[in-house]
Amino acid sequence: MTDRPFPRDLLRRDAPEAAGNLLGARLIRGRGPSARVGRIVEVEAYAGQEDLASHARFGPTTRNRVMFGSPGLAYVYLVYGMYSCLNVVTGEPGRAGALLVRAVEPLAGVEAMREARLAWLERPRANESDPRGGFGAERISRARRRIESLPESDMAAGPGLVCAAFSIGRGDDSVDLCDPGSDLRLETGPGDDDPAVETGPRVGIGYAPEPWLSRPWRYWLKGGAAVSKPPRSHGGT
């Protein structure tokens, strides 16, 4: 594997300014032949406390505390009761900021990612004694078949899917992604040429007022097959 630790200094600025630095970086889980490696192709920037779309808008809390910490740390939270989302903290300590990793293009360990997606399906449920057991089993079985034939580019094409494919959960909250010794970490890509970056409004923040709602703080690498498809409920025709 390459072995180029991601320079923390590239994250010492407000999230929208650091976004371009994170695009193209490698996200890595594990080491050796079983390592899972992917290229970050889509991110969303969440700025300081003034950004009313950000979890930081209420100030430091138990959940978002790491957003106010050092750049390069992982901020992992649970959305909709089931999906984890991975963020890379940006900015100097004391100033909140983070980049949400929305999509990753698999480069190595794709089958391990597929296994992780399958394992996520069978994740332990809190209410196991729920009477609707049979229904859930059939639904899971159909989802399993779908994942078994899923194209590589769709393996981590969405924030919840990135975490499922890389086995990321709340246990990874506050992990230092710039530390080469971390099991979950970042590395720089190979001397990437000047990549073409496109931008657009952030997804899933309908609760936010203007101007935050329309800030073009979603960034993706042009032509990336793994770029996430925004949920229909949020936009597309």
Partner DNA sequence: GAACCGATTTCCT
Partner DNA sequence: GGAAATCGGTTCT
Residues interacting with DNA, by CB under 7 A?
44, 46, 53-56, 58, 61-64, 67, 75, 78-83, 85, 87, 98, 100, 125-127, 130, 132, 135-136, 139, 142-143, 146, 158-161, 202-207, 228, 231-234, 237
The distance of closest approach from Cβ of residue 178 to DNA in the complex, given in angstroms and rounded to an integer, is: 18
Length of the chain: 237
The distance of closest approach from Cβ of residue 166 to DNA in the complex, given in angstroms and rounded to an integer, is: 12
User: Under 8 Å CB-to-CB from 143, ≥6 apart: which residues?
Assistant: 121
The distance of closest approach from Cβ of residue 208 to DNA in the complex, given in angstroms and rounded to an integer, is: 8
The distance of closest approach from Cβ of residue 174 to DNA in the complex, given in angstroms and rounded to an integer, is: 12
CB 168 within 8 A of CB 119: no
Residue (71 or 158) nearer to DNA, CB: 158
Q: Which residues pair with 139 in a beta bridge?
A: none
d(C-alpha 71, C-alpha 118), whole Å = 32
Measured over the CA atoms of residue 121, residue 124, residue 126 and residue 130, the dihedral's sign is positive
The distance of closest approach from Cβ of residue 30 to DNA in the complex, given in angstroms and rounded to an integer, is: 21
Residue (34 or 214) nearer to DNA, CB: 214
Residue (49 or 182) nearer to DNA, CB: 49
Q: How far is CA 135 from CA 99, 120, 139, 140, in A?
A: 37, 18, 6, 9
CB 67 within 8 A of CB 94: no
Residue (117 or 185) nearer to DNA, CB: 117
The distance of closest approach from Cβ of residue 117 to DNA in the complex, given in angstroms and rounded to an integer, is: 8
Residue (31 or 125) nearer to DNA, CB: 125
**Helices (H), ranges, the chain:** 15-22, 110-121, 133-148, 159-165
CB 193 within 8 A of CB 95: no
The distance of closest approach from Cβ of residue 161 to DNA in the complex, given in angstroms and rounded to an integer, is: 4
170: left (phi over 0), alpha (psi -120 to 50) or beta: alpha
Residue (165 or 178) nearer to DNA, CB: 165
Residue (135 or 192) nearer to DNA, CB: 135
Angle between helices 133-148 and 110-121 (to 10 degrees): 170
